[in-house]
Structure 1
């Protein structure tokens, strides 16, 4: 709950300063196939994020939860939704669920970080944000050494 509240504070602050439009794909999986990998609140987190931005009026939100979080649906939604953004808009990808080294666990398999980053790079939006609440998310930068030189590539 504390983690969700922290996200909400960040999102509420972002809403007040975000550009013309914001395009969001919010994804959460609590009910994975079988029962041993289920989570408690991930689907609700994605719905909450979607609800906050839907109230804004300047956002277009796609939200997928549980069995709808397939690799194909998530990637298609990101491509289609983020392609609408202009350079003055923002795009956001939010994921809550299981993570593994190198990617995120969708309902039907593994979505690697490089695929997410490739889709994000294709958007014209200058402001791009990724929020991942999953194990191993800190490795998304995929670098072997610490780099404090912040550039377009970093």
Structure 2
């Protein structure tokens, strides 16, 4: 069953709708994705390129001789990955408006995988709304802590 899901960048300048066939996502651990996102891995959803409709075309940069990445030049949000020679594309899980349904099914770029970051279930959990240093800054700005 194909369903439409929306997403975009943090500032709202770039918005998209993607037609998805399933809830599968994957983590890419390659050094290019680590550098492009600033994280230990990039979480992606693979979609056919023609299954994505951009309300406002994203900015693109050549991240290597074989790939390009869409992003927002206004806020810096990384939005995905696409090989230069075509095929499908990958959208960042975090750029979807509601990424909660996605399930990781694979690890790509495993040569650069940092295993210590995969199983973090025993680490203490801090919630933004109850972390005083965060909550007081949102309150001072006259806003509630976002989810």
Q: Which has the higher strand share?
A: 2
Q: Which has the higher helix share?
A: 1
